[in-house]
Every structure is written in structure tokens, then in C-alpha cells.
Amino acid sequence: MNNDNPILVSDVMDREVIFISPGTTLQELLKKFRGFHTFPVVPVVNKEGIMIGTISFRGLIEIFQTKGTSLIKGVPFLEKEEVDIFNLDIDEDAGVLFIAQDIMDAKFLHLDEDMPLEKAYTTMKINSVDRLPVTDKEGRLTGIIGVFDILLAIFEKKGLIK
Amino acid sequence: MNAILSFSFILLVGLLSAKLIGRMKFPSVTAYLVIGILIGPSIFNLISPSLINNSGFISNIVLSFIAFSLGQSFSRESFKRIGRPVLWTSILEACGSWLLTTLSFWLILKQPFYLSLVFGAIASATAPAATLMVVREYRAKGIFTDTLLGVVAIDDAWCLIIFAISLAIARAVHFHMLSALFLVKVVFLSLLEIFGALILGGGIAWAMKRFSRYIRTQAELLTYTLGFILLNAGLAIYLHLSVLLASMFLGGVLVNIDRESSKFFNSLNSIDSPLYLIFFVLAGASLEIAVLPKLGMIGLVYIVFRSLGKIWGASIGAKIANAGHSVRKYLGLALLPQAGVALGTALIAKATFPEIGGIIITTIVTTSIIYELFGPLCTKFALKKAGEIGAKQE
């Protein structure tokens, strides 16, 4: 890629982002994303437009496990166990009792909008993710970008897409 | 048997035995320790002597990994989530075992103070894997279970801090016993070892974050992470600082200064399992059968006072934090299992004081097997008494 005039994340990102507020219930969240083929990484944005967390598929499953399980995952010697999604202990009321703030990961990955595309791609690769939200310097959610968006931008630059 | 053959033997037999013991609902650690004892020099002598002699080298590397991973517990986010009951209970149950075991060894068994201090510090560890196994098996759920998991998530970190401080004091007491400036030297050397480790770990964490921008692939990331953990541990040894504290601080500072820090911790997941297996088997192999007959009173005092320390300490901590009745009454009982961190710290103590290493490692290996067999039963009992195991799960 030409480093003299690098393509920035803001040039490529999708500005139409579906996000939710911290008070969104689990039921509302699932209804909103029912039409998707896979559960996306969902940004959680407060009233001021600041991104305060993300909800992932893993977070969605973790709420039906013992609360302490998420605290213990960094501890050594634990025998890793796949979660049995067919056998989750789900209460019927969970849909209205859990809100986005309970489910979200407050320590989340995101990209800066003025970051060069090459750096954004490396960040995604070494963190094993294929889609990340984008924020401005103040932490306001401005877009979302995926590995495929980056690939399309490269194809476009090389003249493959007119 | 040559060293490479020994490694392959340890890995394959360890894996097989863990599968077998898993069917009997016991933690894998128990299988690794028993296999280690069986193939070690005391019984069948199937491991290369050079491997046994270098087990201190392997345990130093493994403990650096463990301490680095435990550093994650010190993120601002973790502290916000765990809350007061977990914080108070975990600190006091760890300190309770430390204090009671130290005093009982010193005053009842009339052991030297430095040895009592080392045993006390090792006693503060617990075994999160065994506890989690019981919670998962019986699908325990509720406030007691949440508090229990929070406590076992953080208390091995307290154990490493307690052990690092105790070891620094024990070393100073043991090696400067005849000095005129005895007390000044003890305090000075202990503080130097601890604060030096903190500065080193913090500095290496800063460098690790700073240069990670040049990492392009996951393979590079693993090499980079390993390189920095070993650099930190190696420098700590070279500078006579605490390897455990330096490694824990590396993880603790990194998790707070780098929003992408989870990639470093996750990168180790692909290699830690075989390393831990080798570490446990070698710990088992270090047990000296000849020392076992002398163990009676020491083992008994260790088990009784470590258990009392956990039970009383947890109860006082829960009371201070205004935790519920069941947490005050039964949490300590659920914290009895002991394994990895206790064995690791025992191996370090053995390397520091070789003349009494045999008694330390044999006591801790033997009591770990006892605790791993009976500890999970106590955890189950506590969960049941707290009303968090439903009748259908039993």
C-alpha cells in the first residue's frame, strides 16, 4: 500500500451502525438482531453518543452461566470447558431482567477513525476479530469496519473494482 | 531414560491418567501428582535425573506464566466487579491461613521462624480449578457461588504477594542471622526485593506495550509475549528480585495501560496446558518417600491450621463486608482445595533453602493430594449448606 497517502479507517468504514443504549433489554436486543445470519458485535452507546461497551455472542452466553465464571477465566490451571448451549439454565424472565449494561463488555476493542487501514487490519488480525467499531477522538461511535471492507478498498485501489 | 523420552512419557501418561481420573470426578492435578510420584526416583525411577535436577528451571518459567496471568486480576474493571465482600474475604482468608500456619509451626512444632513463615505463606493458596469443577458439576448458582468464584479468582494473587514478602523476610532472617544490624538488614533487603520487582515489572510492561505496534501476526505475538515474560523473569533473577512479584506486576500494569492487553494473555493459551502438565508431574516426582514417615505431625498441623485459617479468615472478612449469613459461615470450608500455586511456591522454597527442601516439597505434595481428594467434597458440602445446589443436581 502507498504509505505517502495512506487510506484511513474513516475513508472505508460503514457509517450506518446499528447500536443500542445501555438500558435496552435482552428481549429487545434479540428481536433487533433476529434477521442477522450471525450475531454481530453490537456497540452500546450512552446518551452523549459515547461508546461505553460492546456485546458479543460470548457475552450473550455468559449471562446464563454463574456470574463468577467470568471473573475466574484469567486464572491459570483451569480446565477449559466449552459451554453447552443446548443446556443453558435460562429463566423465562431473563429477557426483561437483563439489560445491555449487564451483558456488555466494558473493556472493548475499537479503532480510531484516523488510523491507517493497514494498522486497523493488523489490529483485527492479532486480536482474531473480523469486525470492529470505530470512534472519534472523544470516544463517540462514528462507524464500523470489517476485514471485507478493507479488502474491497484494496481491490478498488488496485483497479479491480471500477 | 533420556530427557526427551522422559518428556514424551510425562505428556502422554499424564494425559491418559487425567482422562481416567476425570471419569471419577477428581481434578486432573491429582492424576498428574500421583503419576509424578509413581514415575519419580522414589518409586519406579522412570524420569531422567537431569530433568528432576532441572525442575526448578521449569517451575520458574511456569510460575512466571502463572503470575503474569494472575496479574489480570488487578485490572480496574475487575476491582469494580468483585465488590467489597470478595475483596475482604479473599484478603482475610489468605492472611488467616498464613498467620495460623506460621504461628502453629513456630510455637507448636518449634520449627525455625523462617521455615514457619515459608509454610504459612504456601498455606494461603487455594485451587480455583477444583472449586470451579464442583460449581460446574452441580450447577451451583447464587450469591454464595458468585462470592466463592470471585474469591478463588483473586486469592492466588494475594498468595503470591504474601509468599514473595515472606520469602524475602525468611531469606534475610536465615542468611543474616548473626549480623549486628540484623533487623535493619531484614527490612532493607525485603523492601529492596519487593519494590525492585514492582519497578522492573512496571518498566517491562511499558516496553511491552510500546513495541507491540511492530507485531504483525499471531505467531509473532506469541514469541513476543514469551520473550517479554522471560526477559522480565530473567532480569528479576539476575537482579535478585522476586520473580513472582515482577511477573505479576508485568501482567497487572499491562492490563491497566493497554486496552488490547487481552491479546497477550490469550496468546499463551495455546502452550500453557502441556507446560502445566509437565510442571505438576515434576512436582509429584520431587516427593521424597523417605521423608514421608517424618511427616505425621507436620502434615497434620499444616492441614488443621491452614483449614482453620481459611474458615476463620473468610468468616471475619465476610463479617467486615456485611456479607450474608451463609457466606460468613461456610465460605472458608469451600476454599480448602490446594494445588498449583502451592506446589509452585513450594518448589521455589525448595530451591531457596535446599537443606530443608525435601520436607517442604514432600509436605505440600502430600497435603495437596489429600486436599484435592477431600477439598472438593468440602466445597460441595458448603454449597449445599448455602442452599445453592438444588436437589435435582445432587
Residues 6+ away with beta carbon under 8 Å from B388? B140, B141, B142, B144, B145
* A90 close to B (CB below 8 A): no
Distance between CA B289 and CA B40 in Å, rounded? Answer: 10
- Domain of B133 in residue numbering reads as 3-393
Of the given ranges (A16-20, A131-135, B128-132, B142-146), which has the lowest mean pLDDT?
B128-132
User: Is there a contact between A72 and B216 if contact means CB atoms under 8 Å apart?
Assistant: no
State the average pLDDT over residues B307-333. Answer: 91
Q: Answer whether residue A1 is part of any domain.
A: no
> What's the confidence (pLDDT) of residue B95?
94
**Predicted confidence (pLDDT) per residue in B249-289, tens digit:** 999 999 999 888 888 988 887 788 888 888 888 888 887 77
By Cβ distance, the residue of B128, B148, B150 closest to A77 is: B128
Distance between CA A50 and CA B41 in Å, rounded? Answer: 62
> What's the confidence (pLDDT) of residue A50?
93
User: Is there a contact between A66 and B133 if contact means CB atoms under 8 Å apart?
Assistant: no
Residue of B nearest to A102 (CA): B81
Residues of A in contact with B152 (CB under 8 A): 72, 75
Distance between CA B247 and CA B228 in Å, rounded? Answer: 10
Residues 6+ away with beta carbon under 8 Å from B95? B124, B158, B162, B313
By Cβ distance, the residue of A68, A75, A109 closest to B145 is: A68
* Cβ burial, residue B348 (10 Å; 0-12/13-18/19+): buried
Higher pLDDT pick, B89 / B56: B89
> What's the confidence (pLDDT) of residue B55?
74
* A75 close to B (CB below 8 A): yes
Terminal C-alpha separation, chain B? 46
CATH code: domain of residue A79? 3.10.580.10
State the average pLDDT over residues A12-36. Answer: 87
Look at residue A43 and give its three-state secondary structure.
Answer: strand
Q: Answer whether residue A70 is part of any domain.
A: yes
Q: Which of B240, B349, B338 is nearest to B286 (CA)?
A: B349
Q: Answer whether residue A141 is part of any domain.
A: yes
- A111 forms beta bridges with A134
* Cβ burial, residue A5 (10 Å; 0-12/13-18/19+): exposed
Residues 6+ away with beta carbon under 8 Å from B374? B336
> What's the confidence (pLDDT) of residue A3?
52
Q: Answer whether residue A2 is part of any domain.
A: no
Q: Answer whether residue A48 is part of any domain.
A: yes
Higher pLDDT pick, B116 / B286: B116
**ipTM surpasses 0.85:** no
Give B135→chain A minimum CA distance, Å. Answer: 9
Mean of all residue pLDDT scores within chain B: 86
Residues of A in contact with B81 (CB under 8 A): 71
Count how many residues are written for chain A.
162
User: Is there a contact between A125 and B218 if contact means CB atoms under 8 Å apart?
Assistant: yes
> What's the confidence (pLDDT) of residue A80?
60
Q: What angle do CA A56, A62, A68 make, to 5 degrees?
A: 135
**Predicted confidence (pLDDT) per residue in B289-313, tens digit:** 777 777 788 999 999 999 999 999 9
Surface of A (117-136) touching B: CB under 8 A:
119, 122-123, 125-128
Q: Percentage of residues in chain B with pLDDT exceeding 70?
A: 96
Q: To which H or E segment does residue A131 belong? A: strand A131-135
* Cβ burial, residue A154 (10 Å; 0-12/13-18/19+): middle
Distance between CA B128 and CA B36 in Å, rounded? Answer: 21
Residues of B in contact with A127 (CB under 8 A): 260, 262-263
Higher pLDDT pick, B233 / B372: B233
The yes-or-no verdict on residue B393 having pLDDT over 60 is no
| Predicted confidence band of residue A67 (pLDDT cuts 50, 70, 90) | low
Secondary structure letter of residue B118 according to DSSP = H
The yes-or-no verdict on residue A1 having pLDDT over 60 is no
Secondary structure letter of residue A45 according to DSSP = E
> What's the confidence (pLDDT) of residue B223?
94
> What's the confidence (pLDDT) of residue B205?
96
Beta strands A131-135 and A111-112 are: parallel
The yes-or-no verdict on residue A44 having pLDDT over 90 is yes
Residues 6+ away with beta carbon under 8 Å from B323? B85, B89, B147, B331
Residues 6+ away with beta carbon under 8 Å from B346? B122, B283, B360, B361, B363, B364, B365
Give B198→chain A minimum CA distance, Å. Answer: 21
State the average pLDDT over residues B350-361. Answer: 86
Q: Percentage of residues in chain A with pLDDT exceeding 90?
A: 32
Distance between CA B288 and CA B197 in Å, rounded? Answer: 33
> What's the confidence (pLDDT) of residue B18?
82
- A144 forms beta bridges with A14, A133
**Predicted confidence (pLDDT) per residue in A83-133, tens digit:** 667 777 777 777 788 888 888 888 788 999 999 999 999 999 888 888 899
State the average pLDDT over residues A142-154. Answer: 92
Helix axes B354-385, B113-123, angle to 10 degrees: 40
| Residue carrying the nine cell digits 531422567 | B48
Look at residue B43 and give its three-state secondary structure.
Answer: coil
- How crowded is residue B383: how many other Cβ atoms within 10 Å of its Cβ? 26
Of the given ranges (B51-65, B116-130, B264-278, B320-334), which has the lowest mean pLDDT?
B51-65
The yes-or-no verdict on residue B89 having pLDDT over 70 is yes
Q: What angle do CA B50, B370, B131 make, to 5 degrees?
A: 100
> What's the confidence (pLDDT) of residue B392?
46
Distance between CA B32 and CA B286 in Å, rounded? Answer: 12
CATH code: domain of residue B354? 1.20.1530.20
Give A130→chain B minimum CA distance, Å. Answer: 14
Most confident of B122-131, B310-319, B330-339: B310-319
Q: Percentage of residues in chain B with pLDDT exceeding 90?
A: 29
Q: Answer whether residue A162 is part of any domain.
A: no
> What's the confidence (pLDDT) of residue B390?
64
Beta strands A51-55 and A42-45 are: antiparallel
By Cβ distance, the residue of A106, A109, A123 closest to B77 is: A106
Higher pLDDT pick, B150 / B238: B238
User: Is there a contact between A75 and B152 if contact means CB atoms under 8 Å apart?
Assistant: yes
State the average pLDDT over residues B334-348. Answer: 87
Counted domains in chain B: 1
> What's the confidence (pLDDT) of residue A63?
72
- Domain of A109 in residue numbering reads as 9-157
* Cβ burial, residue A155 (10 Å; 0-12/13-18/19+): exposed
Higher pLDDT pick, B250 / B242: B250
By Cβ distance, the residue of A72, A106, A122 closest to B128 is: A72
Contact by Cβ (8 Å): B174, B354: no
Sign of CA dihedral A11, A16, A20, A22: positive
Residues 6+ away with beta carbon under 8 Å from B394? B138, B384
Of the given ranges (B177-181, B199-203, B229-233, B296-300), which has the lowest mean pLDDT?
B177-181
Residue of B nearest to A77 (CA): B129
Distance between CA B107 and CA A10 in Å, rounded? Answer: 69
The yes-or-no verdict on residue A40 having pLDDT over 80 is no
Residues of B in contact with A106 (CB under 8 A): 77
State the average pLDDT over residues B133-146. Answer: 82
By Cβ distance, the residue of B66, B77, B82 closest to A76 is: B66
Counted domains in chain A: 1
- A132 forms beta bridges with A145
